Structures are given as structure tokens and as C-alpha cells.
Amino acid sequence: MSEGHELAGKLALVTGGGRGIGLAIARRLAAGGARVVVTGRDEAALAAVAGELGGVALRADLSDRGSTDALVARLRDVGRVDVLVNNAGIAESAPLDKTDDAMWDRIVELDATAPFRLIRSLAPAMIAAGWGRIVNIASNAGVSGYGYTAAYCAAKHAMVGYTRALAVDLARTGVTINAVCPGWVETDMVKAAVARIQAKTGRSEEEARQSLASMTPQRRMIQPEEVAHVVAMLCGDGARGVHGQALVIDGGQVLK
């Protein structure tokens, strides 16, 4: 689904849809004809996106299981979710001795557990309808290892792992599930990483940005719209055979 209105009549839920990659995905799916529900924590940002796209904003803190369950309950009044994009996430980095239990739990809960719980809640209606699309925004840290990111890598590997496992369970239902694995994408998350590098190394902002961009053979950061393009492609009927995959979008950083 790149052009046209292939998603007309479909309801798409995008977590973390208020900014960054989630916002680009919400815009792209709406352009494809979907009615989009954006969820996240920033009520004002979500309301602005819903207003722009003629969609629905539902606030939820996905690191809180009660809040996630309340979101699922409120979604019942909106309609059946046909497309679930698990995008909300946090990235924190620390060496092993500073990766404490609280940090581990924060990252694993939001980046791995919450998306799984949403899939478990929302997939049954997709299965009953005989059509659905689940796209999990993981990371190239879900298919490779990087320094100071044990908790983040573990959570994103978990996401890729259950994407593959559930692909077997869902194979004959009309529902596809895939993971998308970006490298450095130009969003607030990267701004935070650049600020950390500046603070630790004394480099200028441009030097810090270049040190990240130079990790990839293309020597550039990915734009949020590039991730949205692949998500939209996965939502189209032409991609119904793409199932259980981890699609890396990182300018050739991870080569397998």
C-alpha cells in the first residue's frame, strides 16, 4: 500500500503516535485511507495529530498495565482494530554495572511486554475478521548487539522473537505480523542520544550526530517517513506473504 486508499474502512492503532516515527506512520496510514487512533502519553500532541488526520486520540501510559487494559476497553467503543502498530518505546543506555533493576524493568515493560499484551488483546478480533496487520517497531538492536544497551537490545530481541513465534501461530488466519528494525532515525530519541554523546565526549552537536551517522555505510540517518513507507507497504494486501520477518531499515549497518 503505497498510494491509493487500500486501507479504506480499516482502523489502525499507532502507539506513540504523537511524534517521531509514530507520527509519520499515523500520517502515512491515514493517507492510505485508514481511520487512525493514536495513543501515547502526551495528550496535547495526540489531540493535534487526531485533529490533523480526522482520527481519534486516546491517552495511555503503556508502561502501566492497568492503563493499557483501560485503552483496550476504550478501543471497543471506537471499533475493531485492523492494523496494530506497536511503536511506542524508550531507549536508555548504560554500562552493565549501571543497568539497574529499575532501568531493566522500565525498558522491558514498555518495549517488549506492552506490545505483546496489546497483540494478545487485539489479535483475536482480527482473526475473527480474517484480516489483520501487526507491525512491531523494533530496532536493528533487535537483530544485533551494541554497547551499553543490554536492556534495550534484550527488549527489542524479545519483540523480534515473539514476532517470529506468533507468525507461526497466525499463519493461516489472514493476519500478518512483522517487525521493522530501524537504525538511527532522526527523532527526539536521536536528539537525546546526541546530547548524551556531547555531554560525555565534549564533541559538538554536529560531531556527535556524525559519529552516529557514520555507523552506517550510507553515512546518514534514516527519516521517520522511510520507516512509515515500509510499515504502509506491510499493511497492503500485496505484502500478505511477508510474514514473521524482521525488516531492517538502517542504511546497511546490519548486513545478514
Q: Which of 13, 85, 123, 190 binds ligand NAD (CB under 6 A)?
A: 190
Measured from the CB of residue 42, what is the shortest distance to ligand NAD in angstroms? 5
Task: Give 74 or 174: the residue with its C-beta nearer to ligand NAD.
Answer: 74
Interface with ligand NAD includes 91 (CB under 6 A)? Answer: yes
Specify whether the CB–CB gap between 92 and 152 falls below 8 A: yes
Smallest CA-to-CA distance from 164 within 235, 82, 242 is with 242
- Counting contacts by CB under 6 A, is residue 40 touching ligand NAD? yes
Q: Does 93 bind ligand NAD (CB under 6 A)?
A: no
Catalytic residue among 146, 148, 152, 162: 152
Residue-wise DSSP of the chain: --SS-TTTT-EEEEETTTSHHHHHHHHHHHHTT-EEEEEES-HHHHHHHHHHHT-EEEE--TTSHHHHHHHHHHHHHH----EEEE---------GGG--HHHHHHHHIIIIIHHHHHHHHHHHHHHHHT-EEEEEE--GGGTS--TT-HHHHHHHHHHHHHHHHHHHHHTTTTEEEEEEEESSBSSHHHHHHHHHHHHHH---HHHHHHHHHTTSTT-SPBPHHHHHHHHHHHHSGGGTT--S-EEEESTTSS--
Q: Is residue 21 a contact residue for ligand NAD (CB under 6 A)?
A: yes
Query: 132 or 182, CB closer to ligand NAD?
Result: 182
148 is catalytic: no
| Binding flag, residue 41, ligand NAD (CB under 6 A) | yes
Rule CB under 6 A: say whether 101 interacts with ligand NAD: no
Q: Which is nearer to ligand NAD, 88 or 166 (CB)?
A: 88
- The smaller minimum CB distance to ligand NAD, of residues 103 and 127, is found at 103
**Which CB sits closer to ligand NAD, 42 or 169?**
42
From the CB of 234, what's the least distance to ligand NAD, in Å? 15
Candidate ranges 18-26, 71-79, 167-175, 230-238; the one touching ligand NAD (CB under 6 A): 18-26
**Interface residue with ligand NAD, options 1, 12, 13, 22 (CB under 6 A):** 22
Task: Cell 499463519: give the residue.
Answer: 171
Tell me the catalytic residues: 152
Return residues touching ligand NAD (CB under 6 A): 16, 18-22, 40-42, 60-63, 87-91, 110, 137, 139, 182, 184-185, 187-190
